[in-house]
Structure 1
Amino acid sequence: MPEKLTLLIHVFATVFMVGLIWFVQIVHYPLFSKIGADQFTAYEKLHQQMTTWVVGPAMLIELVTGVILVKYPPAESTTLTWIGLGLIVLIWISTAALSVPAHNLLAIEYTDTAYHKLVATNWIRTIAWSGRGILVLTLVCRTME
């Protein structure tokens, strides 16, 4: 796949996830506390199913194109592509180790502890994806020079 097309697909996936993670952090997760404990587990199970279809492909595309960009860095940006891949790894680890377990607990029973842990630890992903957004836009600027 040509490097510029890979970069464009990568930028799209990353910028999509930056917007989505900020929406989730500022709007979606805070609304979780308004659902009500008696309806929450059913809501959470549906939330997990539906969210996977939106988040999964974008995260996978971002990962695959991030690996390709490390192998074929645009505009001699090897360091930036490695930093970007490191942030992707951080996001995936945070998702697997913190977000998914918190969601799984909430799918069994709503507790303030699980809810607050989810919201607090999601800042790791929010900050990492924001950094990635800046990084990929920097790669685009370098490519355009």
Structure 2
Amino acid sequence: MTLLVIHLVATATMTGLIWFVQIVHYPLFAVVGAQESVAYAVEHQRRTSLVVAVPMALEGVTALLVFFTAPQGMNRWWGAAGLVLLAVVLGSTVLLQVPRHARLAEQYDASVVTSLVRSNWIRTVGWTMRTVLAAGLAMWASTSARG
């Protein structure tokens, strides 16, 4: 049960962060002036790394543990689904968001900002689905422990 709660907290933390990034932070890249945009993009990368490192690592480790040490009675497919969603989120991060951030750290480009915001919906939806899944697992464990 403790593992599933830690997993839920880490996943929900990342979901809250990604919604903030999607609705507030990424759209602000379009508002920053061209002269300040490179410094803004570089500082964004530095500060974001500080905020997401621990919850992302914790989420990854607990996702693996949920799959490989599934509590008795839990269908392993739930853990597998969580890992697939995490792979989608991380794949989107590495293949879509990181290259766009690298381009913005070199030079402002409005089309890159638009692409960043649009492609980030993959992570936003993926992390939201992961939170629903993690919450469902925690609720299942809670009711299983009582029964």
Map 1:117-128 to 2 at 5 A. Answer: 117-128=115-126
In the alignment, does 2:52 pair up with 1:52?
no
Matched, 1:22 2:24: no
TM-score (norm 1): 0.94
Residue 35 of structure 2: aligned partner: 38
- 1:21-67 deviation per Cα after TM superposition (whole angstroms, max 9, x unaligned): 11110111111111111101001101100100111221111111100
1:102 Cα shift?
A: 0.4
Give the letter for the 2:10 counterpart: A
CA displacement 1:80-120 (0-9 Å, x = unmatched): 11100111111111100000000000000010121111111
Match of 1:140 in 2: 138
Is 1:70 matched up with 2:67? yes
* Deviation, structure 1 residue 77: 3.1
Using the TM superposition, give the Cα deviation of residue 5 of structure 1 relative to its aligned residue in structure 2, in angstroms: 2.2
Note if contact 1:77-1:139 (Cα within 8 Å) is conserved in structure 2. Answer: no
Q: 2:7, 2:106 → 1: CA distance? A: 35
* Corresponding residue of 1:6: 3
Q: Name the count of aligned residue pairs.
A: 142
Task: Give, in whole Å, the separation in 1 of the partners of 2:25 and 2:75.
Answer: 35
> What are the within-5 Å matches in structure 2 for residues 75-114 of structure 1?
75-114=73-112
Contact preservation (8 Å) 2:27, 2:113 = no
Unpaired runs of 5+ in structure 1?
none
TM-score between the two structures when normalised by the length of structure 2: 0.93
Structure 1 runs (4+) greater than 3 angstroms displaced: none
